[in-house]
Structure 1
Amino acid sequence: MDRTLTALITGASSGIGLELATIFAKNQTNLVLISRNKSDLEKIKVTLEKVYDVNVYIYACDLAKPDCAQQIYEVMSNEGIEINYLINNAGFGDYGEFIDSDAGKNYDMMMLNMVTLTEMTHLFLPAMKDHEFGRILNVASTAAFQPGPLMSVYYATKAFVLSFSEGISQELQGSGVTVTVLCPGPTETRFQKTAKLESSKLFNSVNVMDAQIVAQAGYEAMQDGQVILIPGFVNNAFTILLRFLPRFIVRKMVFNLQKKA
C-alpha cells in the first residue's frame, strides 16, 4: 500500500477507534489520532510507530467543543498532512430517563455525536473529492434503526449519523470518495461504563461483540465502498425484524431491553 496515505481517527485512544488505528498501521497507513487523553495517545504513538514503522501524529482535543473540528483541520493544513481516510468514531451515550438527564451532558453528546462529525466531514471532504479518492467511515450503532427509551438522545444522534451518511454517500457516487456507516450492536469498549450501562439488560442478556472484530469488519466494508455495515448475525437479524413490527411494539421491546437487569 502507498505509504503516503493517511487515516485520521477520532476517539482513537480505546475501543473501536484504537483497534482501527492498529488495523490501519498493519496495512502501512500513516495515522492522525485524535482523543481527549494525550497521555494515552502518546503511548499508542510509541507502540504503533515501533511495531509497524508508520508515522503517527497525535492531537489532543475535546471534540465536544464547538471549535475543535476547525482546530484539527487547521493543524493538518499547517502540517501539510493530507487526509485520505476520515474515521469519525468518537461518541458517547448516557443511560436513564430523559427528564432526569443532565442538560450539559446532552449538549456535549449532540455536539460530539452529530455536529463535530458533520463538521469534520465538511472540512476534509473537498480535498478528497478534488483528488478523486477518499474513504469516510462514520461510526453509528444499531441504535440508529429505532427509538431508544432510557437512552433517547443517544439513539437519536445515531439515527442522524445513519441518515447523514447514507445521504452523502449517494451524492458522492462516481466521485472516487465513498462513505460507509458502521452500525455495531453492543461492543466491549469503555462505552458501557461511560453510559452507565453495566446494569442494563442490553449488556447482560445479549452477545457483546469484541471491538477488534467490529473494527476489522468496518475497515473491510469501508475499503470495499459498502454503504451500511451491521456486524454480527444477531444484530443484522434484529434490525431486519424491526422493519416488520409496529412502532409501538418496537418502543416497548427496546424499553424492556434497556431496563436494569
Structure 2
Amino acid sequence: MTTALITGATAGIGAAFARRLATDGHNLVLVARDTERLQEQATELHDLHGIEAEVLTADLSTEAGIASAEARLSDRRHPVDLLVNNAGFGNKGRFLEVSMADELTMLKVHCEAVLRLTAAATAGMKERGRGGVVNVASVAAFVPRGTYGASKAWVVQFTQGAARDLAGSGVRLMALCPGFVRTEFHERAGMGTDNIPAWMWLDADKLVAAAMGDLARGKTVSVPDPRYKALMGAVKLAPRGLLGGITSKTGRKYGPQ
C-alpha cells in the first residue's frame, strides 16, 4: 500500500483528498494544526476504509511546523509516495490594509512550506523512481490580485519548473488551480460569500476526482472544471492593464466583504 501525506487535511480540499485517497486504499499522513480534529479524521478514515492514518500536528507558518513535516517526508523507512501541499489561507483586506506580519505568514505557508516540503518529498521519490506531488494553487494565480494571487502564481511557476527538472525520473508534479470551493476557507478569513454567484462554486470531492485524473495524465497544471477553463481562456486573451481593473472590481464584488 502506498502512503500519501496531505497538509491542511482536516477541512475542505485537503479533507476531500483524504477521503478519495483512503477510498482508493492509500495509507495517509494527515497534517494540520488541530490535533483533536486530526485524530477524529484518522479514526473515521481507518474505520471506513481499513487504511492506516497517521497524525502529524504541525503549523506550517512556523519553522518547527515545516521542519517536522520535512522530517516525515525524508523518512526513508516509511516513504511517502504522494504529497498534497494543500495548507493555505486568505487575508481579508486590500494591500496595506493587511498587516505585514500576516502578509509574510502567507508567504511562509504558501511559498516557503511548499518549496521545502516538495524538495523533501521528491528527493526520496527520485531515488525510488516514482511518486507524485500536488501543489494546490488557485485560479487567482492567473490574475493580478494581491499577495494571495501572487503567492499562488509562485506555486504554479515553481511546480512547472520543478516538473521539467524532474522529467523522466518517474516523479510527477502538478499545480492544482481551483476556483471558489465550498470549504472553511472564506469563513476563517472573515470573508462574506453571499455575493458569489451559485454557478461559480465547485464541489471539493468532484474537484479532487478531476485533479487525480489530471495527475494520472501527466498534466503539470490542472484547472479542473469547464467553467473555470473557459474563464481562464478569456483571461489569457485580455490585455494586462484591462485585466487588472476588471479583477479589482470583480474582487470587490465577489470577494471579501
Q: Would you call these one fold, judging by a TM-score over 0.5?
A: yes
**Inter-partner Cα distance in structure 2 for 1:41 and 1:118:** 24
Kindly provide the CA deviation profile for residues 57-112 of structure 1, in whole angstroms up to 9, marking residues without a partner as x.
Answer: 01111011123222123245569321110110111111311111122211111100
Partner of 2:178: 184
Alignment equivalent of 1:20, drawn from 17, 21, 24: 17
Please report how far the alpha carbon of residue 250 of structure 1 lies from its aligned counterpart in structure 2 after TM superposition. 0.6
Give the 5 Å matches for 1:66-215.
Answer: 66-75=63-72, 80-148=77-145, 152-199=146-193, 201=195, 203-204=196-197, 206-215=199-208
Cα 1:199–1:124, aligned 2, differ >3 Å: closer, same or farther? Answer: closer
The question of whether the paired residues in 2 share the 8 Å contact of 1:88 and 1:117 is answered with yes
Q: Contact conserved, 1:20 with 1:219, CA < 8 A, in 2?
A: no
Q: Which amino acid aligns with 1:21?
A: A
Instruction: Among all aligned residue pairs of Structure 1 and Structure 2, give the percentage whose two residues are the same amino acid.
Output: 28
Rounded to whole Å, the distance in 2 between the matches of 1:200 and 1:49 is: 36
Confirm or deny: 8 A CA contact 1:138 1:180 kept in the other structure: yes
Unaligned runs of 5+ in 1: none
Partner residue of 1:237 out of 227, 230, 236: 230
Is the partner of 2:200 in helix, strand or coil? coil
Q: Secondary structure at the match of 1:67?
A: helix
Give how far 1:222 is off: 1.8
Alignment partner of 1:259: what SS?
A: helix
| Cα shift readout 1:146-198 (whole Å, capped 9, x = no counterpart) | 111xxx11011000000001111111111100101110011111111123332
Aligned Cα RMSD in Å?
1.6
Q: Could you say which residue in structure 2 is the equivalent of 1:49?
A: 46
Q: Would the aligned equivalents of 1:94 and 1:194 in 2 still touch at CA under 8 Å?
A: no
Q: Is 1:225 aligned with 2:218? A: yes
Between 220-229 and 49-58, the greater mean CA deviation after superposition: 220-229
Residue aligned with 2:237, SS: coil
* The one of 227, 240, 243 aligned to 1:247: 240
**Number of aligned residue pairs:** 254
CA contact (8 A) 2:73 2:120 kept: no
Q: Is the 8 A contact 1:200 1:259 kept in 2?
A: no
Shift of 1:200: 7.5
Gaps of 5+ in 2: none
Distance 1:245 1:76 in 2: 41
Structure 1: how far apart are the matches of 2:170 and 2:73?
A: 22
CA distance in structure 2 between the aligned counterparts of 1:83 and 1:38, rounded to whole angstroms: 21
CA distance in 1, matches of 2:111, 2:73: 21
Residues 110-146 of structure 1, C-alpha deviations (whole Å, 9 max, x = no match): 1001100100011111110000001110000000111
